[in-house]
Structure 1
Amino acid sequence: MTGHGGADPRLLPMIAAERRRTADLVDALTPAQLDTPSLCGAWTVREVVGHLVSPLVEKPWRLVPVLVGAGFRPHVANARLARRVARRPPAELAAALREHAGHRFRPPVVGWLGQLTDLQVHGQDIRHPLGLPADLDPERLRVSLDFLTGGRAVGFVDRRRVAGLRFEATDLGWSAGQGPVVRGTGAALLLALTGRRAALADLTGDGAATLGVR
């Protein structure tokens, strides 16, 4: 795996597969499930889907007024755009994910590695509060865990929070880091590394309490 925003040729097919998987999930959700709070801040499940669809359907020039209106604060603009796109019918959101599964959207700084990881993390933001199985592809999950623990996941991981800890996935034969161990499934580690406190109950090891305090 490369270290420059993710130029590995495997990444685009992985991203496309995750978008199609998310589309299948959206098609299976009820209106009540779509309106359930997700693990991602104040967003509902529907708004998380809107966030994943927005870079695929919004033209770049249309983002400027949103950014200006948000006082040039990217996170605020991103949230507003996600909510706007989320107002579309769920079937339309799912169709957009399938139609644009191969879209080469490449976020700044984190590149395609970031896009793959964003899709997997937000998939768990949806599934976890709904009590649905993680259903993550092991190969794609390993790629994202490597990214999250590799020091380049800007905006995903607080380095101070994970420093001096070793992470071990009990179902993947994967590990990274040195120090007290934080042990759990790959899905639980994915959420914990990205700051989702809901995953802490699924972790064990001498480092789990340290991670929780941080």
Structure 2
Amino acid sequence: MTEADIRRLIAAERSEMAALLRELSADQWDAPTLCEGWRVREVVAHLTMPYRYSTPRFLFELAKSRGRFNPMSDRLARQDAAALTADELVATLEANVNHPWKPPGGGYEGALSHDVIHGLDITVGLGLDRQVPAERLSVVLGGLSPKHLKYFGVDLTGTELRADDLDWTYGSGRPVSGSAQDLLLTVCGRTLPAGRLRTS
């Protein structure tokens, strides 16, 4: 895929998520997601952080957290979720569907992964039946590597993940099957609702 193709997929994912978020109730905004300790509003605050923080501000906040990204990310998500309304958070996402943000070292594929994974944190956490289009999942799954497993603290030794709705496998050993998006969440260390994966 070309860079323009990936950016098209990013814009589509952000647009669809913004439309979905517009339909959520107040209770759903305060419901838990698959991101441990984060409600929907914290996840959306995190998703929109790159559009709201300049590079100097980001570096300042990172320094406040002694260079530790995860503690900084958690602190800012909670802070911004408390300061911004649901409408303000969605409006920020809507205004930035074509924003050129890329995670350091991740390229536009990394930006797509960021949006897809956190979108699933929300929809699966809420029990919504949203299916991420196969074209987007293929890009995200195709970019997985051992370093991602290490980052998320996931050990797949002796396990082969097999998507039953996409031509994708990862690892070797005892087969674990499920939808491509559920397997993606597994790789990211998320705890899925019971019964979504099958072992052979």
TM-score between the two structures when normalised by the length of structure 1: 0.83
Determine the structure 2 residue equivalent to 1:185.
179
List, as ranges, runs of 4+ consecutive aligned residues in structure 1 with deviation greater than 6 Å: none
Contact 2:178 2:196 in 1 (8 A): yes
Deviation at 1:18, TM superposition (A): 1.1
Q: Is contact 2:32-2:126 (8 Å) kept?
A: no
Deviation, 1:39, is 0.8
Deviates more, 1:47-56 or 1:122-131: 122-131
Consecutive unaligned residues in structure 1, runs of 5 or more: 2-6, 207-214
1:202 match: 196
Instruction: Show the 5 A alignment for 1:1-214.
Output: 8-86=3-81, 87-148=83-144, 150-151=145-146, 153=148, 157-158=152-153, 161-199=155-193, 201-206=195-200
Name the SS for the 1:198 alignment partner: coil
3-state secondary structure, aligned to 2:169 = strand
Change (3 A) 1:187 1:200: farther
Q: Is the 8 A contact 1:110 1:153 kept in 2?
A: no
For residue 199 of structure 1, report the CA deviation from its aligned partner. 5.0
CA contact (8 A) 1:110 1:154 kept: no
The AA in structure 1 aligned to 2:155 is R
Mark the runs of 5 or more structure 2 residues left unpaired by the alignment: none
Report the Cα distance in structure 2 between the residues aligned to 1:133 and 1:64, rounded to whole angstroms: 37
Which residue number corresponds to residue 212 of structure 1? Answer: none
Distance 1:98 1:79 in 2: 23
1:139-182 residue CA offsets vs partner (Å, 9 max, x unmatched): 1011111222x345377544x61244322111123323332211
Maintained 8 Å contact 1:147/1:153: no
Across the aligned residues of Structure 1 and Structure 2, the Cα RMSD in angstroms comes to 2.1
**Aligned letter for 2:93?**
L
**Residue correspondences, number:** 199
Q: State how far apart, in whole Å, the 2-side matches of 1:89 and 1:76 are.
A: 23
Work out whether residues 166 and 179 of structure 1, in 8 Å CA contact, stay in contact via their aligned partners in 2.
yes
SS in 2 for 1:33: helix
1:91 positional shift? 1.7
